Amino acid sequence: MKKVFLRAILAVALAGSAMTAVQAANPEVGGAPMYEDKNIVENAVNSKDHTTLVAAVKAAGLVETLQGKGPFTVFAPTNAAFEALPAGTVETLLKPENKEQLTKVLTCHVVGAEAMSDAIGKMIKDDGGKHPVKTLGGCTLTAEEKDGKITLTDENGGVATVTIADVKQSNGVIDVIDKVILPKM
């Protein structure tokens, strides 16, 4: 009886640690757990570091798109990245009359494929240190690897660094970036 009880306790302990290992597979983003069985929008709304991005996605009418089947890779700028834009930029983009421009900016952060960092790194290496990345917004970003981190240069020369990579979603992946990618103006 004692052996059965000990085995049961051991089984529960192992199951609990296995569940923790599964949950720990994705990094937290903005202080919130990111679940692989939830879509990009369902996870992003819980990140305290992405409230501006979520508000912009809603204003642009892209919620349904980013809840769709995908796969998508979203390069997700933090609130601090939006705050680094010139004063009034975010407020102007969020106005209803600027929805088309906002949509263009946001879709320049989205790739119509699930691009994990090891695959991007391989493409960069295979292309001699720089790899062009086409976005759904029609922008071409240049991916490079610097000091073990992937960077994305937009068409204006702005450089965003991936600060948290490979956050798996049910419909793709999120890579957190430290700058807002802007289309050619």
Which domains are seen in the chain, by residue range? 27-177 (2.30.180.10)
User: How confident is the model at residue 25, as a pLDDT?
Assistant: 78
Query: pTM for the whole thing?
Result: 0.85
Looking at this protein, which amino acid is placed at residue 133?
V
pLDDT digits (tens, 9 = 90+) for 39-59: 999 999 999 999 999 999 999
User: How confident is the model at residue 149, as a pLDDT?
Assistant: 94
Residue 154 has pLDDT above 90, yes or no: yes
Residue 2 has pLDDT above 60, yes or no: no
